Amino acid sequence: MSYRIVALLALCASTLLSQQTPSGTEAELNALRAAVKASQSAGDNAWMLMSSALVLLMTGPGLALFYSGLVRKKNVLGTMMQSFVMMAVITLVWFVCGYSLAFGEGSRFLGGLQYLFLNGVGAEPNADYAGTIPHQTFMVYQLMFAIITPALIAGAFAERVRFGAMILFCTLWTFIVYFPAAHMVWGKGGLLNAFQNGPIPVFDFAGGTVVHITSGFSALVCAIYLGKRKGYPVEPMKPHSLVLSFIGACLLWVGWFGFNAGSALAASGLATSAFVTTHFASAAGAVSWMLAERFRTGKASALGAISGSVAGLATVTQGAGFVAPYAGVVIGFIAGIVCFYMVTVAKNKLGYDDSLDAFGVHGVGGLMGCTLTGIFATRTVNDALKNAAGEPLALGWVDGNTTQILNQLAGAGIGIALAVVGTLVCLKLTELVTPIRMEVREETEGMDLTLHGEEGYNFEA
């Protein structure tokens, strides 16, 4: 708070002073400058605090509802807990060393330890990341991303993974996959950081690679490694409450504004632009998935509509602040169709049991989004990258930069490799400590009773 107050006091002082001196002195101007800085910070901070809250809302209750509605009644709490426990555990990890490993200055692959226990992360902005908001705001905003990413994976092992093992796995995964990925793409000096001289500059506005590719491909590995749910695909395993999933999906849509538009790190025109592409992609994804269903099965379903919107959102994440509104529509439209195909046709053919389609939506969506960003990114939307003369650089194919798509693919490749190898390592490490899968009897009885000793619904009078 201090610098705000100082600024205001200075402003007041200068107001008083100025009644004595005939014209604007240097002191007055400096006071004004400080006041303007404080007021710029207030506007940007208002938006970023709100965005942080929105991204947390995405995990709980958003994702928790989306996922838990899709499982059977006996697993509703267990599935919710997989999201919730990330909100709790990853927060503590972030506090201790996570933020430092992701955003500290370190190697090209991982941050250093200077921010251990958030040492030195205070109200002063960190100009490397966001020059107008408190460093702590940036820290807590990024924390919300670190929470939701492993929570997304949980979609792949829902209905069959033990609680303790899930926590252990996800915590390990955060260290082995997330922190490196975040550092490489967004961290100071990171290998893929386009804005800080990374040797392979990748445009990832809000985490298409960092969040969706990593979690999606990790989910695929988990789903295959763990094997199918008992009874799959013979026993019926209908979503127990699409009503919950629907609420969750709407909250994801709304929360995603914090995720994508918040990634502008300021309440700027760029934030608005990301907001718009995000919204358009979600809408287009819902429409195209519904159309695909309509043609294939004759009926557009509610589950289809919300899945399409989530697919659109996941896919536009990477390009949100780089592409024009029309591109948001195009990206969303492609996302809806491709993810529909993955989830309804390809998955059944390949035969793995990714219960909640974390791979089909986030993995595939993330990968497409990464690529499409290389095509649609344009300096008319984002002019932050400049050449020596201060002119904005061409970004994607539409700007005439036909090679960026290679960088994007390289980034995606690195993300996928990291996710696959890292996930296997984490699974093995976890198994050294504790069995991952529930016993058959536990799976039959359900997670709620066997893992948590509760039931989601007690509707008897």
Q: Which 157-186 residues touch a copy of itself, going by CB under 8 A?
A: 163
> To the nearest whole angstrom, how small is the minimum distance from the Cβ of residue 412 to a copy of itself?
26
Query: 161 in helix, strand or coil?
Result: strand
Judged by CB under 8 A, does residue 230 bind a copy of itself? no
> To the nearest whole angstrom, how small is the minimum distance from the Cβ of residue 296 to a copy of itself?
12
CA distance 118 to 123: 12
Judged by CB under 8 A, does residue 158 bind other proteins? no
Q: In this complex, which beta carbon is closest to a copy of itself, that of residue 420 or of residue 445? A: 445
Residue 141, judged by CB atoms within 10 A of its CB (0-12, 13-18, 19+), counts as buried
Instruction: Give the binding range for other proteins (CB under 8 A) out of 78-86, 233-241, 310-318, 323-331.
Output: 233-241
CA distance 52 to 186: 17
Binders of a copy of itself in range 71-110 (CB under 8 A): 72-74, 76-78, 80-81, 84-85, 87-89, 91-92, 95
Residue 24 binding: pick among a copy of itself, other proteins, none (C-beta 5-8 Å cut-off by kind): a copy of itself
Nearest to 77 by CA among 449, 461, 458, 442: 449
Nearest to 83 by CA among 240, 235, 233, 251: 251
CA distances from 66 to 27, 251, 265, 307, 428 (A): 56, 9, 27, 10, 29
Q: In this complex, which beta carbon is closest to other proteins, that of residue 175 or of residue 232? A: 232
Using the rule CB under 8 A, which residue among 271, 343, 412, 418 binds a copy of itself? 271
Q: What is the largest CA-CA distance in the chain?
A: 87
Judged by CB under 8 A, does residue 276 bind other proteins? no
Q: In this complex, which beta carbon is closest to a copy of itself, that of residue 79 or of residue 423? A: 79
Q: How many residues bind other proteins (CB under 8 A)?
A: 28
Instruction: Give the binding range for other proteins (CB under 8 A) out of 77-85, 198-206, 267-275, 449-457.
Output: 449-457
CA distance 328 to 395: 16
Question: How many other C-beta atoms lie within 10 A of the C-beta of residue 205?
Answer: 25
> To the nearest whole angstrom, how small is the minimum distance from the Cβ of residue 189 to a copy of itself?
23
Binders of other proteins in range 309-368 (CB under 8 A): 343-345, 347-348, 357
Judged by CB under 8 A, does residue 361 bind a copy of itself? no
Binders of other proteins in range 234-273 (CB under 8 A): 234-239
Judged by CB under 8 A, does residue 123 bind a copy of itself? yes
Count the alpha carbons within 13 Å of 247 in the hemisphere toward its beta carbon.
10
Judged by CB under 8 A, does residue 159 bind other proteins? no
Residue 306, judged by CB atoms within 10 A of its CB (0-12, 13-18, 19+), counts as buried
Judged by CB under 8 A, does residue 440 bind other proteins? no
Judged by CB under 8 A, does residue 301 bind other proteins? yes
Using the rule CB under 8 A, which residue among 113, 116, 276, 409 binds a copy of itself? 276
Query: 4 in helix, strand or coil?
Result: helix
Using the rule CB under 8 A, which residue among 104, 106, 134, 150 binds a copy of itself? 134
Q: Report whether 188 contacts 103 (CB < 8 A).
A: yes
> To the nearest whole angstrom, how small is the minimum distance from the Cβ of residue 218 to other proteins?
20
How many angstroms separate the first and last alpha carbons of the chain? 53
> To the nearest whole angstrom, how small is the minimum distance from the Cβ of residue 434 to other proteins?
22
Instruction: Give the binding range for a copy of itself (CB under 8 A) out of 9-17, 180-188, 192-200, 394-402.
Output: 9-17
Q: What is the DSSP letter of 350?
A: H
Report which residue type is found at 285.
G
> To the nearest whole angstrom, how small is the minimum distance from the Cβ of residue 457 to a copy of itself?
5
Report which residue type is found at 297.
T
Residue 234 binding: pick among other proteins, a copy of itself, none (C-beta 5-8 Å cut-off by kind): other proteins
Phi, psi of 357 (to 5 degrees): 60, 40
Instruction: Give the binding range for other proteins (CB under 8 A) out of 39-47, 212-220, 396-404, 447-455.
Output: 447-455
Kindly give, in sequence order, each residue whose CB lies less than 8 Å from that of residue 74, ignoring residues fewer than 6 positions away. 445, 446, 447, 448, 449, 455, 456
- Both structure tokens of 96: 């201790």
Q: In this complex, which beta carbon is closest to other proteins, that of residue 237 or of residue 393? A: 237
Instruction: Give the binding range for a copy of itself (CB under 8 A) out of 38-46, 103-111, 178-186, 368-376.
Output: 38-46
Count the alpha carbons within 13 Å of 448 in the hemisphere toward its beta carbon.
15
Q: Report whether 430 contacts 168 (CB < 8 A).
A: yes
Cα 85 versus chain centre, distance: 17
- Exposure letters 44-75 (e unless 16+ CB within 10 A, then b): bbebbbebbebbbbbbbbbbbbbbbbbbbebb
Judged by CB under 8 A, does residue 26 bind other proteins? no
Q: Which residues bind other proteins (CB under 8 A)?
A: 231, 233-239, 297, 299, 301, 303-304, 307, 343-345, 347-348, 357, 444-445, 449, 453-455, 460-461
